[in-house]
Amino acid sequence: MKKFKSLVLIQIKDLFYNVQGSLNIKNKKLASILQLFLLGAILAPAVYFSWVTYQAFAQLNQPELVITTMYVNSSIIMFFLGIPIIISVFFFSKDIQFLSALPIEEEKIVFGKLSTVYVYLLAISAAFVLPSIVIYAVRSGFSLSIIFFGPIAFLLAPLLPLLISSFLVLLFNKLIRKSKYKNILTMVGNLVMIAVIIIIQMGITQQAADPEIITNAYLNNESLINFIGVRFPPSIWLTKMVLGSLTNTIYFIGINLLFVLILYFTAKYFFKKALLTFVEGERSRGDIYYEKKNRGMQLFKRHIMIIVKEPTFLLNALLSMVVPLIIYVVMTFSGQFSLDLLKSEQIRPFIGLIYSGIIIFPAIVSNISSTAITREGQAFWQTKVLPISSKMNMQYRILTTLVINLTGTILLGIIGYILLPVTLQMVLIGAIFAVSTNLFLAVIDFTINVYRPLLNWSHPTAAVKNNMNVTMALAIRLVLGLILFGIYKMAGAWMTNYSLVLIVLSIIFLGLYFINRFILYNKLVNRFNKIAA
């Protein structure tokens, strides 16, 4: 047990040091303040959401349902965020072979690695489950059962999503471990897995949304919790556990224990058959060739390959390209959305705006430029010693982002053109807007990375996700959105001409792009040259 404790401690310490390191702020006090601010920024909307949900259920005289709802929601988020993290810590971290050489049982290594994922998911539980319990307790009174079972519910909430996702990920990777394309399959397979989990959730909700079931649920108090909890039955048990039901406590702790045991007894098998086999040497890839290419093309290929060959980076890039498509498929599948909605007369004047909004999605969601230097990690030295100019070195990193994002834009543009009743003029204006937005954001994100390079990361998730640069890039989009919203509120009548608005915005973004580009290639070259691991 001592070994396991040490292993868990070292993994968690490593995680915290990585998170601190990824903030990349030398002033420790400032880093702490920033961490608290970030935590607050993430927690505040979640707490508010719990509060609003509590009030809605309080009106139905069932305020405890806030706990059920928040646990169900947090579980979906945990599945969604947990799977990529599990893949990263299991299959693409650098320490798995090192750990396998230590005198410690394989199952303990698996659970030790999972401890870091648990910490991530516990943060999600702290944002959703904990506030719901606290709000319920404050408003409905602190009973002994809440004081005792509330903290247990908060601490156990991440376990089921964590254990189920881990089991599925390990099982899937066991099946594909010998494939030539195992890296791509890992990424695509797990993307499909996330989609399937969400579709099942949506499907169940849709099934439960039968008018008869809803009427019964409102008439019968007990049915309402079942109606909400049907998407994830342990949520019913967790809620009733917090309320003091011993039977449901046994159910909830029992199901958690059952999954712990399942993973514990299969961990040794998966460790050998999935984990170690996966990190073994790869097969040969084609023939030896001698082919001359343009230098720019080689640099571009190198940056693209860094993303394509690293599943965590690829998953990140792909998700940002096709998120609207996934949302559309899921919502259509679950019957929550229909294209007929867009054909209504009320929506018709906004179609051009909606189309433009959809095709700029890759530029808004994707922030891969903000990690264009960071992604290279310790290998960054390589392009620095090459006989190429710093401008060229930077240019092709930005070009990589543009090509990826514009591919997403074109893909969404074509699908949007087929599905939405848009005119050629709308497509053209949307395209101009998308190009200018992509250019501006790609350059500004890259500037962030020039100011804040982080090359000493230990696993790829730290490079592209748990990264202050990503947060800053998203903050820029938020500020931009708020400014545009402010202008919209103040401008009044002329804002109703959406084509004009989009053209004006395109000109502004292009102007900002050229200004930023000038600063980057003239004033920030020295800063770029000083970057070293």
Partner 1 sequence: MILNHILNNIRKEGAIMLKLTNLTKVYENNNKKAVDNINLSIKQGEIFGFLGPNGAGKTTTIRMIAGILDITEGEISINGFDIEKEPIKAKSSFTLVPDHPDIFDSISGIEYLNFIADMYEVSTEVRKEKIEKYTKAFEIYNDLTQSIKSYSHGMKQKLLVTGALLPEPRILILDEPLGGLDPRSARNLKNIMREHCQNGGTVFFSSHVLEVVENLCDRIAIINKGKIIACDELKNLKENPDTTLEELFLELTENEEI
In the window 304-323, what residues touch partner 1 (CB under 8 A)? 305-306, 309-310
Give least dist CB 391 to partner 1, A.
11
Q: Which residue has the tokens 């497509």?
A: 427
Q: Does 332 bind partner 1 (CB under 8 A)?
A: no
Q: Does 381 bind partner 1 (CB under 8 A)?
A: yes
Give the whole-angstrom CA distance, residue 261 versus residue 151: 22
Q: Does 295 bind partner 1 (CB under 8 A)?
A: yes
Give least dist CB 97 to partner 1, A.
12
What the block records as the tokens of 179 is: 């494939």
In the window 492-531, what residues touch partner 1 (CB under 8 A)? 529-530
Q: Does 345 bind partner 1 (CB under 8 A)?
A: no
Q: Give how many residues touch partner 1 by CB under 8 A.
A: 41
Q: Does 477 bind partner 1 (CB under 8 A)?
A: no
Only segment of 16-24, 49-57, 280-288, 497-505 that touches partner 1 (CB under 8 A): 280-288
Our CA angle for 454, 387, 443, nearest 5°, is: 45
In the chain, what's the furthest Cα-to-Cα distance? 76
In the window 437-466, what residues touch partner 1 (CB under 8 A)? none
Query: Given candidates 143, 245, 298, 499, which one binds partner 1 under the rule CB under 8 A?
Result: 298
Give the whole-angstrom CA distance, residue 139 versus residue 65: 13
Q: Considering beta carbons, is residue 101 or 385 the nearer one to partner 1? A: 385
Q: Considering beta carbons, is residue 385 or 418 the nearer one to partner 1? A: 385
Give least dist CB 309 to partner 1, A.
3
Q: Does 377 bind partner 1 (CB under 8 A)?
A: yes
Q: Does 20 bind partner 1 (CB under 8 A)?
A: no
Give the whole-angstrom CA distance, residue 306 versus residue 318: 14
| Euclidean distance between the first and the last CA atom of the chain, given in angstroms as a whole number | 37
Give least dist CB 353 to partner 1, A.
41
CA dihedral 208, 210, 214, 220 (to 10 degrees): -80
Give least dist CB 506 to partner 1, A.
36
Q: Single out the residue of 179, 182, 194 nearest to residue 77, CA to CA.
A: 194
Query: Given candidates 290, 418, 424, 492, which one binds partner 1 under the rule CB under 8 A?
Result: 290
Backbone angles phi, psi at 247, to 5 degrees: -60, -45
| Burial class of 518 by CB neighbour count within 10 A (0 to 12, 13 to 18, 19+) | exposed
Give least dist CB 471 to partner 1, A.
23
| Burial class of 460 by CB neighbour count within 10 A (0 to 12, 13 to 18, 19+) | buried
DSSP 379: G
Site of interaction with partner 1 (CB under 8 A): 26, 280-295, 298, 301-302, 305-306, 309-310, 376-379, 381-382, 384-390, 529-530, 532-533
